[in-house]
Amino acid sequence: MPRVNKSISKDPKAARKGKSTSVLRFELGAFAVALVLGVLVLPSVIWVCGHFVIGDYVRDPLTGATGGPFALTLDYLKELAQGSVAHWLLAAGPYGLMLVWRGLRRALLG
């Protein structure tokens, strides 16, 4: 192990490459976790908020059929599969909020 540490300390490019790889790996992991939250958890949160503020989720306006959080999640996943830009922006929302949080924290704290 000491040989590896000495080679990295002698070559600054190797140290930078290792750091950029770990940052990229962290960002990809954070994006994956945020996307899973945006796809699987966010529809249920939207349903709960909408249920208390607006009322029942009307799944089919013609028949008046209503649905619960799972119905909303299934409709949401169907729209994602069809490539709806609005639904994909909503799915990426948690990652966007994380980026805004980081920017504000960096701007305020330096």
How many H helices and E strands in the chain?
6, 2
Look at residue 17 and tell me whether its pLDDT is greater than 90: no
More confident residue, 55 or 110: 55
Cα gap 40→91, rounded to integer Å: 9
Question: How many domains in the chain?
Answer: 1
What is the extent of the structural domain holding 61? 2-109
Predicted confidence at residue 6, as pLDDT, reads 52
- CB-based contact 77:88 (threshold 8 Å): no
The contacts of residue 50 (CB under 8 Å, 6+ apart) are 57
DSSP 38: I
Binning pLDDT at 50, 70 and 90, where does residue 25 land?
very high
The residue-averaged pLDDT of 31-45 equals: 95
Q: Is 79 a residue whose pLDDT tops 70?
A: yes
Phi and psi (nearest 5°) for 65?
A: -65, 135
Give the mean pLDDT of 20-40: 93
